Amino acid sequence: MEKIVGLKELRQNVEKYTKEVVRGHSFIVVRRSKPLFRVGPLEDEWEEVVDFTKIRKGGVNVKELLSRL
């Protein structure tokens, strides 16, 4: 079951709720007793497309990259 958290509480303690989301918990955020949105972990894992740090330590200069396209 999702917990309910006020918008002000979320703003003031965003780090605490971020850690809870990482642990798999979800929250419904309300303002003046009306639901606004849901905060929760991503359902799917992100697919790595390109890791520019593998090409060059520290990444790749975006101007250089775009000039080669």
Which long-range contacts (C-beta less than 8 Å, at least 24 apart) are formed by 14-23?
A: none
Residue 57 confidence (pLDDT): 80
In the chain, where are the structural domains located? 1-41
Q: Are 29 and 7 in contact (CB under 8 A)?
A: yes
Residue 55 confidence (pLDDT): 77
Q: Domain 1-41 falls in which CATH fold?
A: YefM-like fold (3.40.1620)
Q: Are 17 and 10 in contact (CB under 8 A)?
A: yes
- The side-by-side arrangement of strands in the sheet containing 3-6 is 3-6, 27-31, 34-39
Per-residue confidence at 8, pLDDT binned at 50, 70, 90? very high
Residue 15 confidence (pLDDT): 97
pLDDT tens for 10-68 read 999 999 999 999 999 999 999 999 999 999 998 877 777 777 777 778 778 888 878 88
